[in-house]
Every structure is written in C-alpha cells, then in structure tokens.
Structure 1
C-alpha cells in the first residue's frame, strides 16, 4: 500500500534554494544554433516549477488535491550571454517573498560554461499566484499556509502600482475601429486573435508561455508591416534580432476562444543600438476593453559572422526609419 504524501507546507518553498541542470528545448533554436528569448524564459519557468516540486508542492498536486492552479503572473528577465543548442544551464532558484506579499516571489539565475569559465547568463524575477479552480467544482478552503497567495481571478491581489488601468470604452464600428483606436497617435501595430487551447492551461486560461509566444509574434508582425521582416534582413544583411531584456505582467484573465487584441508599441530608440517596445493585451468584457497583460521587450540587431558567432550592429537609416515610422495597418 502506497503511503500518503505528507501535508504540503510553504516552509521549504519560501526558504530553500533549488539548483537544477537543464537544456534549452531544440524548438528554440531558430537561427543557426542560438536560443531565442522565449525559450530562455521557458528555462526560467521550468526552474521555478522544479523548485515547487522539490519543496513538496508540485503543480500537479496543488491542482489535483487543492484545486489551485499555479500561474506565473510576473516574469522579468535579463539575458547577459546567449544560449546555444545543447548548452547545459545550471539554474538557481532563490525564494524572494516578503511577509506581506500576496504573490510568491523568486529570483532565478541561469549559468552556463564558456571556455572553461562559468558565466552568469540570465537573471530573472518571477512571481506566482495560486488561482482557485472554479471550472470543475466550487473552490474549497485552501490550506492555511497557502491562503495568502490564493486568488479567485488573476490580478485580484495586485499591488496598486501593478493594477490594470481603467477599462477602455469600445469604439463603434467593429474590429477595424477597435484596432484603429488602439493604435491612434502611437507608433504601433495591433491585431485581433482568437485564443486557441494550446496557449492555455488549467482548462481555460491563457498562460504565461502563451503571452511569451504572443510577444515574439508581435515583433514578427510589426517588422513585417514596416518592410523589414525577419527574413528580409536575414537575406539582405544576415541581421537577426537579439533580446537583452523582457518582462510580462498578467493583470487579468483571458479565456480560451476569447478574442484577444494585442498592441505592440515602439516606445524608445536608444542610441541606434536598441529599441524598447511595449505589448498590451485586451479582451472585451461588458462592452469595454479590459487589459489582461502588459510587458516590454528590448531588441537590438546582430550580424551573423559564421555558424557560431555574431556581433551587435547599430541600426542603419532604413531600420531607423521603419522603427520610428507612422503606425502601420493591422
């Protein structure tokens, strides 16, 4: 007879440090053997999930026994050194939750070996909410230790500075009018998209990895609209986009098969070397646009020198004009 698992406790989760070795997914190597920012963030998320499991509170048990969905609601990442296919990352997860916090916080560091030295390749801050499941059954009382971190909707316990802004009234005229209102007066691109189930988890909610995929797609759509698509600059100059920083905060919920309006806005171009873009995602609720997630990503360009190496390059006139141009169509 299998012994019953001991009751879950937050003690190890909030005090112990977890170290785990991981490899980036093969899927994330899209150009030569470099790993894209999205899959670097997947490594960060996976390290936190391992920390939960090693602390006796794996995501599966939280959900099956207590109806608590583990949701990454904040993910801020700095990439200091690029990862390559077949690299082995050593991830360190350090708890970072204050006594009055309403979300579980962690600091994650990824290290990688280069030429006999171990380098700090990635630093990240992650925050977790435990979402009470209401889809399959009425929620029960969570274990006492976990109650401070349980929400009935994502974003419900955000700090005031992290709360979603006031809801935006809908513009009459259908999809085109809504997209136009979201980009008016901004250096932006927007589109509407119906959320498919592969981007969701816990039966209905769009999850953090889905927003990461959207952030990657937003960049792709924006530069295509501006005439400097990824393939265009690859073929013309062997230029590829690189990402030193990214962040996403989930401030509301988006549900499977809802229409999601995503806006990608260029906010700043810094010294012809990088540009910062903001991504905002909205759903329509009660006749208004409600923000569900917001984030920022910093991009630069690198020139491919050979199958192994690249070097950062400044933007030229064509790229600067495209990045700083007037809003394109959706």
Structure 2
C-alpha cells in the first residue's frame, strides 16, 4: 500500500536552494550547434519546476490535488555565455520572495564548463503565480501556506490599473485597421494570430513558453519585413542574431483560440552593436484591445567564423537603415 504524501508546505520552497543538471533540447540548436535564447529560457523554466518538485510541491500535485496551475508570469534573463548542443548546465535555484509578495520569486543561475573552468552562463529572475482552476468545477482547496500566492486570474496580483487597455475602433473583420492603430507613429511591425492549443496549458491559457515562441517569431517577421531576413544575412555574410538579454511579463490572460495581436517595436539602437525591441501582445474584448503580456529583447549580430566559433560584429549601414525603418518599401 502506497503511503500518502505529506501535506505540502512552503518552507523548503521559500528557503532552500536546489541544484539540478540539465541539458538543452536538440530542437534549440538551429544554426551550427548554438542554442537559441528561447531554449535557454526553457532551461530556466525547467530548473524552477524541479525546485517545486524537490520542495514537495510538484506542478502535477498542485493541480490534481489542489486545482492550482503553476504559471510563470515574469521571466527576465541575461545570457553571459552561449550554450552549445550537448552542453550540460548546472542550474541553481534560490528563493527570492519577500513577506508581502503575491507571487513566488526565484533567482536562477546556469553554469557551464568551458576548458576546465565553470562559468556563470545565465542569470535569471522568475516570478510564479498559482492560478485557481475554474475550468473544471471540482472542489479544491489550496494548502493554507500557498494561499497568498493564489489568484483567480493571471495579472490580478499586479497594482490596480496596471492592465493596459487601448480603445480603438474595431470594425467587424477589419484586421488591417487594428494593425494600423497598433503601429501608427512607431517603428514597429504587428500581426494577428489565433492562439492554438500547443501554446497553452492547464486546458486553456497561453503559457510563458508560448510568449517566448512569439518573441522569437516577432524578430523573424520584423527582419523579413525590413528586407534583412535571417536567411538573407546568413547567405550574404554569415551573420546570425544573438540575444544577450530578454524579459517577458504576463499582465492578463490570453485564452486558446482568441485572436492575439503582437506588436514588435524597435526602441533603441546602441552604439551600432545591439538594439532593444519591445513586444506587446493584445486580445480584443468588448471592443477594446487588452494587453496580456509585454516584454523586451536585446539583439546583436555575430559572424560565423567556423562550425564552433562566432564573434560579435557592428551593424553596417544596410542593417542600421532597416532597423530604423529607413529601408525602402517599409
């Protein structure tokens, strides 16, 4: 007979650090053997999930026994050294939750071995909400210690008035008018997308990994629109995009099969070496565009020197003009 699991407690979750060894997914190696920023963030997410499990509160048990969905609602990551295919990361998760916080906070450090030395490769900050399940009406009660971090809707823990709403005229079926309103007067690109189930979890919600995939796609769509697509710069000069920093924050919920409008806006070009772009995601509700997530990403370019090495390069005039919106036809 299997012994009943002990009651869940936040003691270890909020006080103990955990360490786990993780390997990036093969899917994340798109150019040569380097791992893209999205899959680096997946390692951070997995480390946090392991921390919950090792602390006696695995995501499955939280949901099945207590009707709580573990949702990462904020993720800020700095990449200090690139990961390669077959690298093994040592991930350390340290609790970082203040007494009055309404989300669970963690700092995550990923380390990797290079030439006999262990380097700090990634530093990340993560915030987690426990979303009470309303899809299945089965009664469920959260453990008392977890109650301060339980929300009925993602974003509810934010300050009053934080949910940004933009009122625009939305003629029936006029997608172009909505996109034009979102990009008017901005160095931006936008598109509409219907949220499919593979981007969701806990039956209906768009999850953090889905927003990371959108952030990656936004870059791809933007540079294609500006005439400097990923493949164009690869073929012309063996340049690849690199990401030293990214962040995403969920401020409201987006639900499966809703139309999501994503806007990618270039904010700053820094010393011809990097540029920062903002991603904003909106859904239409009651004739109003409602912000569901916002984030930022910093990009640069590197030239492929051989199958294992690259180095950063400054933007040339063609790339600078495209990023600034000066390319003909944009």
The TM-score range, normalised by the shorter chain, is over 0.9
The runs of 5 or more residues in structure 2 that have no matched partner are none
Q: Give, in whole Å, the separation in 1 of the partners of 2:119 and 2:160.
A: 37
Q: Is this contact kept in 1: 2:241–2:300, CA < 8 A?
A: yes
CA shift digits 1:159-209 (9 cap, x unpaired): 459x22234334436100000000000000000000000000000000000
In the other structure, the counterpart of 1:172 is 171
Give the 3 Å change call, closer, same or farther, for CA 248–318 of structure 1 in structure 2: same
Is the CA contact (8 Å cut-off) linking 2:170 and 2:287 kept in structure 1?
no
Give structure 1 stretches of 5+ with no counterpart.
none
**Mapped partners of 2:160, 2:78: distance in 1:** 25
Q: How far off its partner does 1:327 sit?
A: 9.6
1:194 to 1:209, Cα distance in 2 relative to 1, 3 A: same
Q: Which residue of 1 aligns with 2:46?
A: 46
Three-state SS of the structure 2 residue aligned to 1:268 is: strand
Dislocated runs of 4+, deviation >6 Å:
327-330
CA shift, 1:111, in A, is 0.2
Alignment partner of 1:51: what SS?
helix
The 5 Å alignment of 1:19-168 reads 19-137=19-137, 140-159=140-159, 163-168=162-167
- Tell me if structure 2 keeps the 8 A contact 1:62–1:69: yes
Deviation at 1:139, TM superposition (A): 5.5
1:252 Cα deviation (Å)?
0.4
**Match of 1:238?**
238
Given that 1:170 and 1:289 are in contact with CA atoms closer than 8 Å, whether structure 2 keeps it comes out as: no
Partners of 1:188 and 1:328 within 8 A in 2: no
Q: Which residue number in structure 1 is paired with residue 276 of structure 2? A: 276
Report the CA distance between 1:137 and its aligned residue. 1.1
TM-score w.r.t. structure 1 length?
A: 0.97
Q: Pairwise CA RMSD of aligned residues?
A: 1.5
User: TM-score normalised to the size of structure 2?
Assistant: 0.97
Equivalent residue pairs, number: 329
Residues in 2 aligned to 1:210 and 1:68: alpha-carbon distance in whole angstroms: 19
CA distance in 2, matches of 1:263, 1:170: 18
> In 2, are the aligned partners of 1:187 and 1:326 still within 8 Å (CA)?
no
Cα distance in structure 2, aligned partners of 1:215 and 1:8: 35
Q: Is contact 2:66-2:142 (8 Å) kept?
A: yes
Classify 1:238/1:200 alpha carbon distance in 2 versus 1 (closer, same or farther; 3 Å). Answer: same
SS at match of 1:125: strand
**Structure 1, residues 251-286: CA drift from partner, whole Å, max 9, x if none?**
000000100000000000000000000000000111
Cα contact 2:18–2:94 (8 A) shared by 1: yes
